[in-house]
Amino acid sequence: SQQGEEDPQALSIQEGENATMNCSYKTSINNLQWYRQNSGRGLVHLILIRSNEREKHSGRLRVTLDTSKKSSSLLITASRAADTASYFCATDSSNDYKLSFGAGTTVTVRA
Amino acid sequence: GAVVSQHPSWVICKSGTSVKIECRSLDFQATTMFWYRQFPKQSLMLMATSNEGSKATYEQGVEKDKFLINHASLTLSTLTVTSAHPEDSSFYICSARDLPDYNEKLFFGSGTQLSVL
């Protein structure tokens, strides 16, 4: 079942700007992951943040996790046209091998 | 990184026929694979968890006789959509974990677009 809610549903920005999207979830988690999906393709793993971590960086990506608010954010800095895609958060809950995906944020980066 | 190959990328079939989708882990062994379904502009909905050498575990509301899953080896899982109908038209994606540790990322196939006429 789906437990993540993402906000906004869609985002359009100019190349070079930053893009921020948020994810909220309902139950306790082991970790939270962010994935990217280009149109008509599979998902690509971007970053994983564990429940005891608060912030993580990977290149131009910055992820935060607030377990007290059950929320996470993904920031893409200095966006490029190639960042145009849908971004999904996914949670890995306790005692469960399965990932639950959020509804996704569609990001369009204009050249 | 680990590679998951999914085949075919797209398939068009007539109503009433069966369609088989293959998911292979190319450079690692996957004791567990997952099958998802995705409608346009929507999220991924988990259909079933495929375990090597045992029966698949289906999510609530997914018909196991409709969506047959076979995970006969550590590198191959198949999803067969039996007696397909137009409402089965969707994007199907498989994924697998590289390690038995549940606390790790998933590797996804490139997906299969199924269109049932």
Percent of chain B whose predicted confidence (pLDDT) is above 90: 69
pLDDT digits (tens, 9 = 90+) for B65-115: 999 999 888 899 999 999 999 999 999 999 998 765 555 778 899 999 999
Which of A94-108, B22-36, B65-79 has the least mean pLDDT? A94-108
Point out which residues pair with A101 in neighbouring strands.
A90
CB contact under 8 A, A50 and B103: yes
Q: Evaluate if residue B5 carries a pLDDT over 70.
A: yes
pLDDT at site A98: 78
pLDDT digits (tens, 9 = 90+) for A44-67: 999 999 999 999 999 999 999 999
Average pLDDT of the segment spanning A15-41:
93
Residue A39 identity = S
* Contact call for residues B4 and B96 (beta carbons, < 8 A): yes
Q: Evaluate if residue A77 carries a pLDDT over 90.
A: yes
At B26, list the tokens: 């190319």
pLDDT at site B1: 67
When CB atoms are compared, the residue of B59, B106, B113 closest to A45 is B106
Distance (Å, whole) CA A105 – CA A5: 10
pLDDT at site B100: 58
The beta strand positions in B1-117, using DSSP E, are: 4-7, 10-13, 19-25, 32-38, 44-51, 57-58, 67-73, 76-81, 90-97, 106-108, 112-116
CB contact under 8 A, A103 and B104: no
Q: CA nearest B7: which of B29, B23, B26?
A: B23
